[in-house]
Amino acid sequence: MADRVIIFDTTLRDGEQSPGASMNVEEKLKMARQLEALGVDVIEAGFPISSDEDFEAVRTIARQIRGPVIAGLARAIPEDIERAWEALADARHPRIHTFIATSDIHLEYKLKKTREEVLDDARRAVRLAKSFTEDVEFSAEDATRTDLDYLCQVVQAVIEEGATTVNIPDTVGYTIPSEFTKIITTLRQRVPNIDRCRLSVHCHNDLGLAVANSLAAIQAGARQVECTINGIGERAGNASLEERCTCGTICSHSPPACGRRRSTRRASC
Ligand SMILES: [Zn+2]
Q: How far is the CA of 119 from the centre of ligand 1 (A)?
A: 21
Question: What is the per-residue pLDDT across 232-265, written as a single tens digit (0 to 9) for each?
Answer: 999 999 999 988 554 333 443 333 344 443 333 3
Q: How far is the CA of 202 from the centre of ligand 1 (A)?
A: 6
The span from the CA of 59 to the CA of 199, in Å, is 27
> pTM of the entire structure?
0.90
CB 96, CB 78: distance < 8 Å: no
Residue 265 lies in a domain: no
Mean pLDDT of 53-72: 98
Asked if residue 164 is part of any domain, the answer here is yes
DSSP string of 135-159? -EEEEEETGGGS-HHHHHHHHHHHH
d(CA 128, CA 241): 31
Q: Within 13 A of 3's CA, how many CA atoms are on the CB side?
A: 9
CATH value at residue 203? 3.20.20.70
Query: Which whole-number Å values give the CA distances from 175 to 13, 142, 237, in the listed order?
Result: 22, 10, 14
Q: Range of 132's domain?
A: 6-245
Distance 238 CA to ligand 1 centre (A): 7
Asked whether residue 38 is domain-assigned, the answer is yes
| Residues less than 5 Å from ion ligand 1, measured at CB | 14
Three-state DSSP at 237 gives coil
Rounded Cα gap, residues 90 and 162, in angstroms: 21
Q: How many domains does the chain have?
A: 1
pLDDT in tens, 123-177: 999 999 999 999 999 999 999 999 999 999 999 999 999 999 999 999 999 999 9
For 236, phi and psi rounded to 5 degrees?
-80, -5
- What's the mean per-residue pLDDT of the chain? 91
Q: Give domain status of residue 41, yes or no.
A: yes
Residue 260 lies in a domain: no
- CA 264 to ligand 1 centroid distance, Å: 30
